[in-house]
Amino acid sequence: MVKLSLVGMLRRSLVHRRARSISALVAMTVSAGVATALLTLYADLDAKLHKEFRSFGANIVLSAPASAPLPTNALARVQEAAGPDALAAEFAYAVATTDTGTPVVVAGTDFAAVRRLDSWWQVQSWPDATATDAALLGQRAAQFIGNEHAVALTFAGHSITLNGAGRIKTGGDEDSRIYMPLAAFTAWAGVGPSVIELQVPGGAAKVEATMARLRQEFPEMQVQPVRQLVEGESKIVDRTHALMYGAVLLIALTVAVSVLATLSASVLERRRDFALMKALGGSQMQLMGMFLLEALVLALAGVAVGFVVGSAAAWAISEGNFHTATLPRPSVLPLVLLLNVAIAAMAALFPARVLRGLQPAALLKGE
Amino acid sequence: MFFRLLMESFRRQRRRKMLAGVAILLGTTAVTAMLALATTIGDRIHKELAVYGANIVVYPKADLLDVKVGGVDLKPASGGAYLKESELAKLKTIFWGNNITGVSPELPALMAIARKAGDPLIAVNAVGYWFDHDFNTFKTGAPTLHPWWRLEGSWPIPRSNPDSRSVVVGTNLAKKLGLKIGDTFVTQGTQSAPSSRLTAIVAGIVTTGGEEDNEILLTLHDAQAYVGANDAVRRVEVSARTKPEDAFARVDPDSLSPKQREIWYCRPYANSIAYQIREAIPGAQAEQVRRVEQSEGNVLKRISGLMWLISAAALLAAGFAVSAAMATAILERRGEIGLMRSLGASKGSIALLFYAEAGLLALIAGTIGYLLGSGLAAWLGARIFAGDGVAAEAVLIPVLLPVVVALALVVAIAGSSPSIRTALRMDPSTILREDA
């Protein structure tokens, strides 16, 4: 008689009932895949959401007191204090008179920086970065200007004629202002920048920390958060996070119970096999061990396939929804493995109660 | 006979039915909960985004240019145009009137105040607002549109006494003047009569992180009396539920064909609501606040997109799980199939019996799952979005019931189909011998 090794029995058990093995494997793969996809997305969620919130623009405003303008290297120092991924733009303001004699706020700034910072501005065409005399006219301010192409402004007796590049529309204070390049503004009005608008990515804690650093660096300046933005962002990110957490748990539970059902059905269906093994002298422990091993092999195979499938799904979801890729995260692997093994172990041990009460003779007789 | 078989099968094989039933139940619970959350997430997030304030501003078309730098308004106090407060009621009558969730008119004024009678006067900005004003069926005003304002004390109350007014003072100004809640100070009585005096009582102190920290906030009525312009407002902030902007929203409605224009008009874009406000209030210019509106649309789209995709994942997972469970259930009962066939049952009638069982199971478990899922979604929603003052909303979404049950039916029948077919194809005697 050929002596069956444990591995041989396992192999036969898996191969012989192929349909059953495949359906169990599919269930384990789905559970691992869903867990991988959701955990990968979940780990990336905060960063992705904070990125979306960047479109709201500046969340910190630094303003210099009227008596002392900003030091010349202020922007570089602010950028350094806030980190490389923060966006900053400086503004200088003066009240000038237009060619129709209306007072208007003229702001000097760096168009390239503003364009990145304030993506919600609706601008017909951004002026060329090299143009020194280009001007953007707020849509309300434009109504008080005689000639929109050659904008003549007077400030403290100095006049300047700017080349109107187009109108901006924001629905805010910007609509009543005229924007021009900072260098030309300083040369004309003799006023340096007084305000730096800063956009720090991240939640309230990060904004607070950056503000504390800035206050230390610039004790003479007023550092103010744009409160509604900072508070709103944290609140929404937290809520979405919690929602996603709920969804992950819910789906994981569904999949787990279904896998449990599939696997334990397979145990119960093979009561006859167990009765036979028991009748031939197998102990309860041996039988359970055998079964556990089978479930674990299926679970591991499920994790291997599921991780690939789940990472692909996470990538597709974030590419489709956030337009940025989410790379596979090996760090979720231990958790997925743990989850799958736990499900498999439970599925194998769940019917133990039924098997313990098994009377081999009665079952084999067909009762 | 058929029904008896069906009933007996449910009565006797309770454990086997339980397995498949629990799988369907959980699948439908998860799918219902996710779909219910996904369909309501837009409204919920919109409510959260209300913290960003108004998304539409209305101002008089003929107004002078704002000359505001660093919180100092250099605009000439006289002149300028006003909107009429009484005309704001027309906001309710526009096509998307029901989507307007908040209205806050304001009237700024330059006021001279002193800590005590006899002290030199100093000039401060004062703004008149609505506080808890009855509008349509809801109460609205500056506090609801600026939820980030922090108030100590209470908002100004309309006074019957003509000699004093109740005001709220910005925190910086209060610090500068040493004012506390309940203190009184002296203000100029009206703008036109510089020597008249009135007493103001500090009802509260507000922290906003903005210009209001240096201002005095009073009721709109008091501000109108002070400026001497009855019924006047300078600017109105409107918060409306809108549909995120798309390419169609940006077109100029006057360039569209009448039919297209009607479609544009009847969609709740910020642009079309602004357009309707311009139509309703003569002399008014309404604009969307792009900083709020554009970014809100973005965030809303991403989050609800995420929820829908997660729902799709839940659907897929539940589908797999249910069909695996159904396949298992059939596989277990090959012996029965063999017996029925050897007793002379046709393949069709056996298949019908099994499909009927699967269908009945899906129907029952699906309905219970729908109820459980709806409850779960309501519970999750209430927990996560707690404390927003969200009115109790309908827990059950009836539309989902047929959708979810139909899905359960399709998945259960599709899942059991391959195993039924395999079992029927096998020779009954082989099955029976294998079973014995």
- Cα distance between residue A314 and residue A337, in whole Å: 17
Contacts of A53 in chain B (CB under 8 A): 295, 299
Confirm whether B294 is domain-assigned: no
Confirm whether B295 is domain-assigned: no
- Choose the final residue of a domain: A225, A252, A272: A225
Tell me, yes or no, whether A78 and A165 share the same domain: yes
In chain A, the number of structural domains is: 2
Confirm whether B369 is domain-assigned: yes
Q: What is the pLDDT of residue B129?
A: 93
pLDDT bin (cut points 50, 70, 90) of residue B370 is very high
DSSP H or E segment with residue A195: strand A195-199
Tell me, yes or no, whether A175 and A242 share the same domain: no
Q: pLDDT of A38-91, one tens digit each?
A: 888 888 888 888 888 888 888 888 888 877 778 888 888 888 888 888 899 999
The CA-atom distances, in angstroms, between B158 and each of B108, B111, B187 are 18, 19, 17
| End-to-end alpha carbon distance in chain B | 27
Say if residues B436 and B339 touch (Cβ distance below 8 Å): no
Structure tokens at A14: 């898996």
Tell me, yes or no, whether B242 and B386 share the same domain: no
**A140 contacts B309? CB cut-off 8 A:** no
Tell me, yes or no, whether B145 and B174 share the same domain: yes
Q: What is the mean pLDDT of residues A268-277?
A: 74
Q: What is the pTM of this model?
A: 0.75
Mean pLDDT, chain B, whole residue set: 83
**A239 contacts B20? CB cut-off 8 A:** no
Q: What is the pLDDT of residue B423?
A: 79
Whether residue A257 has pLDDT greater than 80: no
- Choose the final residue of a domain: B253, B288, B323: B288
Those residues whose C-beta lies under 8 Å from the C-beta of residue A109, and which sit 6 or more positions away, are: A89, A90, A91, A92, A179, A180, A181, A182, A185, A193
Q: pLDDT of B205-233, one tens digit each?
A: 999 878 888 899 999 988 888 888 888 89
Confirm whether B206 is domain-assigned: yes
Identify the residue among B63, B273, B303 best suited for mutation to test binding to A, counting A beta carbons within 10 A and taking the highest: B303
Tell me, yes or no, whether A112 and A201 share the same domain: yes
Give one word for A87, left, alpha or beta, with left for phi > 0 and alpha for psi -120 to 50: beta
List the single range of A140-154, A350-364, B235-249, B416-430 with lowest mean pLDDT. Answer: A350-364
Spacing of C-alpha B98 from chain mean position: 13
What is the DSSP secondary-structure string of B386-415?
TTS-PPP--S--TTHHHHHHHHHHHHHHHH
The CA-atom distances, in angstroms, between A281 and each of A73, A284, A348, A359 are 86, 10, 21, 13
Tell me, yes or no, whether A267 and A190 share the same domain: no
Q: Is A202 helix (H, G, I), strand (E, B) or coil?
A: coil
What is the DSSP secondary-structure string of A178-234?
EEEEHHHHHHHH-----EEEEE--S-HHHHHHHHHHHHHH-TTSEEEE-HHHHHHHH
Q: What is the pLDDT of residue B50?
A: 73
Tell me, yes or no, whether B268 and B315 share the same domain: no
- Cα distance between residue B73 and residue B63, in whole Å: 14
Whether residue B34 has pLDDT greater than 60: yes
- Choose the final residue of a domain: B288, B314, B347: B288
- Choose the final residue of a domain: B255, B288, B321: B288
Confirm whether B72 is domain-assigned: yes
- Cα distance between residue A224 and residue A226, in whole Å: 7
In chain B, the number of structural domains is: 2
Tell me, yes or no, whether B260 and B284 share the same domain: yes
Q: What is the pLDDT of residue B204?
A: 92
- Choose the final residue of a domain: A163, A198, A225: A225
B193 or B264, greater pLDDT? B264
ipTM reported for the complex, 2 dp: 0.75
Those residues whose C-beta lies under 8 Å from the C-beta of residue B35, and which sit 6 or more positions away, are: B311, B397, B400, B403, B404
- Cα distance between residue B148 and residue A23, in whole Å: 55
- The most confident of A286-295, B147-156, B389-398, by mean pLDDT: B147-156
Structure tokens at A154: 């007077």
The answer to whether residue B313 neighbours chain A at the CB level (below 8 Å) is: yes
Q: What is the pLDDT of residue A228?
A: 77
Confirm whether B148 is domain-assigned: yes
Mean pLDDT, chain A, whole residue set: 83
- Burial (CB count within 10 angstroms: exposed 0-12, middle 13-18, buried 19+), residue B274: buried
Tell me, yes or no, whether B184 and B151 share the same domain: yes
**A63 contacts B209? CB cut-off 8 A:** no
Confirm whether B293 is domain-assigned: no
**A172 contacts B65? CB cut-off 8 A:** no
Those residues whose C-beta lies under 8 Å from the C-beta of residue B87, and which sit 6 or more positions away, are: B281, B282
List the single range of B111-120, B145-154, B359-368 with lowest mean pLDDT. Answer: B111-120
Tell me, yes or no, whether A63 and A47 share the same domain: no
Whether residue B389 has pLDDT greater than 50: no
Q: What is the pLDDT of residue B428?
A: 80
Q: What is the pLDDT of residue A4?
A: 64
Tell me, yes or no, whether B275 and B400 share the same domain: no
Question: DSSP letter at B343?
Answer: T
Tell me, yes or no, whether A40 and A117 share the same domain: no
Tell me, yes or no, whether A250 and A290 share the same domain: yes
Whether residue B77 has pLDDT greater than 60: no
**A232 contacts B51? CB cut-off 8 A:** yes
Those residues whose C-beta lies under 8 Å from the C-beta of residue A29, and which sit 6 or more positions away, are: A301, A302, A305, A306, A309
List the single range of A347-351, B50-54, B205-209 with lowest mean pLDDT. Answer: A347-351
List the single range of A350-359, B110-119, B205-214 with lowest mean pLDDT. Answer: A350-359
Say if residues B217 and B156 touch (Cβ distance below 8 Å): yes
B146 or B62, greater pLDDT? B146
Whether residue B268 has pLDDT greater than 90: no
Whether residue A2 has pLDDT greater than 60: no
Whether residue A308 has pLDDT greater than 90: yes
Whether residue B388 has pLDDT greater than 60: no
Contacts of A189 in chain B (CB under 8 A): none
Tell me, yes or no, whether A74 and A200 share the same domain: yes
Closest alpha carbon within chain B to A238:
B384
Structure tokens at B339: 């017996």
Contacts of B329 in chain A (CB under 8 A): 265
* From B209, B316, B385, residue closest to A225, measured CB to CB: B209
A17 or A170, greater pLDDT? A170
- Cα distance between residue B66 and residue A176, in whole Å: 6
Identify the residue among A31, A231, A251 best suited for mutation to test binding to B, counting B beta carbons within 10 A and taking the highest: A251
Tell me, yes or no, whether B422 and B361 share the same domain: yes
Tell me, yes or no, whether B342 and B276 share the same domain: no
Tell me, yes or no, whether A173 and A74 share the same domain: yes
Confirm whether B339 is domain-assigned: yes
Closest alpha carbon within chain A to B210:
A226
**A27 contacts B33? CB cut-off 8 A:** no
Q: What is the mean pLDDT of residues B347-374?
A: 89
**A243 contacts B37? CB cut-off 8 A:** yes
Question: How many other CB atoms are found less than 10 A from the CB of residue B88?
Answer: 22
A125 or A349, greater pLDDT? A125
Tell me, yes or no, whether B249 and B317 share the same domain: no
Residue pairs between chains A and B whose CB atoms are closer than 8 Å: 226
Tell me, yes or no, whether B211 and B343 share the same domain: no
Tell me, yes or no, whether A96 and A208 share the same domain: yes
Tell me, yes or no, whether B37 and B72 share the same domain: no
Structure tokens at B252: 């100029």
Identify the residue among A177, A250, A326 best suited for mutation to test binding to B, counting B beta carbons within 10 A and taking the highest: A250
pLDDT bin (cut points 50, 70, 90) of residue B391 is very low
- Cα distance between residue A178 and residue A180, in whole Å: 7
Amino acid at B209: G
- Choose the final residue of a domain: A193, A225, A257: A225
Q: What percent of chain A has pLDDT over 90?
A: 7
Confirm whether A361 is domain-assigned: yes
Structure tokens at B61: 């078309």
Whether residue B79 has pLDDT greater than 70: no
Whether residue B186 has pLDDT greater than 60: yes
Structure tokens at B213: 């920290």
Interface of B with A in 366-385 (CB under 8 A): 376, 380, 383-385
**B314 contacts A247? CB cut-off 8 A:** yes
Spacing of C-alpha A276 from chain mean position: 55
Tell me, yes or no, whether A78 and A219 share the same domain: yes
The sign of the dihedral angle between the CA atoms of B297, B300, B305, B306 is positive
The answer to whether residue B77 neighbours chain A at the CB level (below 8 Å) is: no
Tell me, yes or no, whether B105 and B247 share the same domain: yes
Q: What is the mean pLDDT of residues B232-248?
A: 85
Q: What percent of chain B has pLDDT over 90?
A: 10
Q: What is the mean pLDDT of residues B19-36?
A: 85
Confirm whether A95 is domain-assigned: yes
Closest alpha carbon within chain A to B385:
A239
- Burial (CB count within 10 angstroms: exposed 0-12, middle 13-18, buried 19+), residue A198: buried
The answer to whether residue B51 neighbours chain A at the CB level (below 8 Å) is: yes
Confirm whether A41 is domain-assigned: yes
Nearest to A345 by CA among A260, A248, A275: A260
- Cα distance between residue B12 and residue B31, in whole Å: 30
Q: Which residues form the domain of B381?
A: 2-47+301-435
Q: Which residues form the domain of A147?
A: 59-225
CA angle A272-A274-A275, nearest 5°?
Answer: 65
pLDDT bin (cut points 50, 70, 90) of residue B2 is confident
**In sequence order, what are the beta bridge partners of A131?**
none
- Cα distance between residue A331 and residue A329, in whole Å: 5
Q: What is the pLDDT of residue B74?
A: 62
Whether residue B75 has pLDDT greater than 70: no
- Cα distance between residue A240 and residue A193, in whole Å: 39
Q: H helices of B268-289, where?
A: 270-280
Q: What is the mean pLDDT of residues A340-355?
A: 77
Tell me, yes or no, whether A93 and A30 share the same domain: no
